[in-house]
Amino acid sequence: MPENTARPKSAKAPGKRSAADSASRGRDTLRHRAATGRRLKAGIGELSTATLQRLDSTLPWYRAMQPADRSWVGLVAQAGITSFVDWYRKPDAPLWVVADIFGTAPRELTRAITLQQTLQLVRVVVEVVEERVPDLGKGDEDQSLREAVLLFSREVAFAAADVYARAAEARGNWDARLEALVVDALVRGESVDALTSRTAALGWRSVGEVAVIVGQAPFRPTPQLTDDLRRSARRVAEDALVGIQENRLIVVLGGAKDFRTAAAALADKFGPSQVVLGPVVPSLAEAGTSAAAAFAGRHAVGGWPGAPRPVSADDLWPERALAGDRVAVRELIDRIYAPLDDAGGSLLDTVTIYLECGNSLEATARELFVHPNTVRYRLRKATDVSGWDPTAARESYVVRTALVLGRLKQQGALSTPSKTSTQGW
């Protein structure tokens, strides 16, 4: 008879036995992991205490923090450990739980500690947990627990980067709006108190002199353009504010060593038309005066075709005066005519005759019955007194305009505003 080769009924197929063994191993893994999870949960307090002690001993910036901020950092660290334990006990749960770690702290904490410091915090927590893995895991669980710690720490690092990126974006949008309000306040001449509080919120630190630059905005200004201009401005000055109003681009510089040089370095960032630098004022509180002069200069700069780029608003006094800027009229009289008139010694008469004689030394000497060297001496003294040289082509035009306006005021045909006024005609 043929040999009976049938398997015993109790025997199982190899495939079924492997599946059963895998399922059994999976159940054992879950039981071990659940047991480890319970030990982790029981040790949360110990882990948190060890973490805070490690933070205090290894991170100088943590020791230097205010007590309230230290408390929030401690809560973040404890929330990270708790979230890891909850996730480890339920490995099938999504890792979105890491986003809740930073929900325990106020938004202001992102200003108290940097992203780099947050990553240092994550590293310390990971080190403390890894050191205690032999006590928390048993046998084969050590490796899986270490891998879980590394995976979770990676997700926490990404979550931290996301939190700081969102905070930076929101802060950037808010700062841009606040900066626009400050620049608008400068243009409209708002109160000094409101201006000071707003600039303090923007982080304005300069206590030095301030000047305003005004020019045409590029045809299609972009946020990248204003950011680039702001960075360039802060290379040549301690602080800078940038604003765009319609087609005008406005830059407020604070604490520059040389404002003319700074304006020249930024001129290429403006549109194709002229760029005007307002007068330097002692502080940001007086920046409205500089802004008003810069706007008046930009309105009148077309009267000087050969004006340099950038041009100072003070160099445009004649054009501004002819365009109706009463502040420019006052400056011409107070800065040029009045000093020459007060100096005596025939300075005013010499300068007047010199200009009327076509800037000729010999003709002026004949009119005054003096030697040409005497005319030269008086002209040099007039330059020292007024700060403007009648013998230079452009400056002689400025001086001539000042003399005309000064004589008109003496005759009562002209009135000038007070020195605190920034309004034109």
Q: What is the largest CA-CA distance in the chain?
A: 158
Per-residue model confidence (pLDDT) at position 47: 76
Q: What is the pLDDT of residues 326-359, one digit of tens each?
A: 999 999 999 999 999 999 878 999 999 999 999 9
What does the pLDDT look like over 61-82, one tens digit per residue? 888 888 877 777 777 777 777 7
> How high is the pLDDT of residue 196?
60
Which of the 8 DSSP states describes residue 344?
A: -
Contacts 24+ apart (CB under 8 A), 403-408: 403/336, 403/337, 403/340, 403/348, 403/351, 403/352, 403/355, 405/321, 405/329, 405/332, 405/333, 405/337, 406/332, 406/333, 406/336, 406/337, 406/338, 406/341, 407/337
Band (243; pLDDT cuts 50, 70, 90): confident
Average pLDDT of the residues in 375-393: 94
pLDDT category at 171 given cuts 50, 70, 90 is: very low
Closest CA to 390 of 425, 347, 334, 421: 347
Instruction: Sketch out the chain's domains with CATH numbers.
Output: 24-165 (no CATH), 204-319 (3.30.70.2730), 327-410 (1.10.10.2840)
pLDDT (0 to 100) of residue 367: 93
Q: Could you tell me if residue 346 is left (phi over 0), alpha (psi between -120 and 50 degrees) or otherwise beta? A: left
**Strand-strand pairing, 311-312 and 276-277:** parallel
Q: How far apart are CA 61 and CA 66, in angstroms?
A: 10
Helices (H), 64-140: 67-89, 109-112, 115-131, 133-136
pTM: 0.59
Angle between the N-to-C axes of helices 141-188 and 67-89, in degrees from 0 to 180, rounded to the nearest 10: 140
Give dist(CA 65, CA 61) in Å, integer. Answer: 6
Q: Is the pLDDT of residue 94 over 60?
A: no
- The token pair at 110 is 């992102």
- The label of the residue with tokens 């920034």 reads 422
pLDDT digit string (tens) for 8-46?
554 555 555 565 555 555 565 556 666 666 777 776 777
